[in-house]
Amino acid sequence: MFQVQCLQSTEKTETELYSKYYIGPFIKGQSTTIGNTLRRVLLSSLQGLAIVGARINDINHEFSTIPHVKEDVIDILLNLKQIVFKGNINEPTLARLKVKGPGIITAQDIELPPNVKLIDPRQYIATITAKGDVEMEFLITRGQNYLKNTTLESIIPSGFLSVDAVFMPVKKVNFFVETAQTGNSSELESLILEIWTNGSLTPAEALSTSAEVLGNSFELLKITNTTSTLAINKEFIRLKIIQNNSTQYSLKN
């Protein structure tokens, strides 16, 4: 039976969490297999929230400029991409922003539904250089991995500009293998796993969720009723015989 132990845990900023884990001991060769599998699931299979579309008043395309705003629309969309959310939503959700200038627009100016929270409210969006109003609407949804704005253009509502969606809560994963310090056998080894997240999940939550994803996947490989499988195979053979006989009969006639 192996064990999991947290060797180090740090929080550099709200969006930069890091933990280092010892997992083992394993039979020689297993650590690399488990490390590669966990790394792949951590980076590509965990879900998160992200802005997929933005609607800005009187703006029809991303190459526009907004009066009295320092950044052009492309820069604003890039800044929106950096906003990290945490929450529990099952369908696309709208959020709104209305700011009077002059002043700086940050993520904390976004009016969010109660089931969605910001990880870093200070995330910069834009600067209004003179008196005036800036109004925006954002489409937030749940997903996994990374979607380019070109992929989203065909599925977001009319009037919204698509935003590169970074759903991944895990930013980086590293692992290496060490000889297990058991004193009993040199054939045992341990896995050292490092996880960096964006704050929407802690590294511990990310590791636990990844293990759950893998467990659910491997559960599907269990064969619990060989008799049923055999019966299905026999039925398939019977149907093929009937089909062949029907074909031969139709050809003769």
C-alpha to C-alpha distance for 217 and 222, rounded to whole angstroms: 10
Residues 206-236 as b/e (b if ≥16 CB within 10 A, e otherwise) read bbebbeebbeeeeeeeeeeeeeeeeeeeeee
Average pLDDT by stretches of 10, the chain with 253 residues: 90 96 90 94 95 92 89 95 94 94 94 95 95 93 91 87 94 90 71 96 96 88 62 57 48 40
pLDDT at site 135? 94
- Interhelix angle 30-44/203-219, rounded to 10 degrees, is 110
pLDDT at site 126? 96
pLDDT at site 248? 43
C-alpha to C-alpha distance for 63 and 57, rounded to whole angstroms: 14
Q: Where are the alpha helices (DSSP H) in the chain?
A: 30-44, 73-81, 149-152, 203-219, 226-252
C-alpha to C-alpha distance for 230 and 242, rounded to whole angstroms: 19
Classified as helix, coil or strand, 82 is coil
Cβ–Cβ under 8 Å, residues 21 and 195: yes
Classified as helix, coil or strand, 215 is helix
Q: What values do phi and psi take at 64, rounded to 5?
A: -85, 170
Could you tell me the end-to-end alpha-carbon distance of the chain, in angstroms, rounded to an integer? 68
Q: What values do phi and psi take at 39, rounded to 5?
A: -60, -45
Residue 130 burial (CB count, 10 A)? 9
C-alpha to C-alpha distance for 191 and 36, rounded to whole angstroms: 11
C-alpha to C-alpha distance for 7 and 152, rounded to whole angstroms: 40
Cβ–Cβ under 8 Å, residues 203 and 195: yes
For residue 224, what is the enclosing H or E element? Answer: none
CA torsion sign for 80, 85, 211, 45 is negative
Quick one: how far is CA 144 from the chain centroid? 3
pLDDT at site 167? 95
The residues pairing with 225 across neighbouring beta strands, listed in sequence order, are none
Domains, the chain, with CATH or none: 3-46+169-219 (3.30.1360.10), 48-143 (2.170.120.12)
- Amino acid, res. 207: L
C-alpha to C-alpha distance for 246 and 253, rounded to whole angstroms: 11
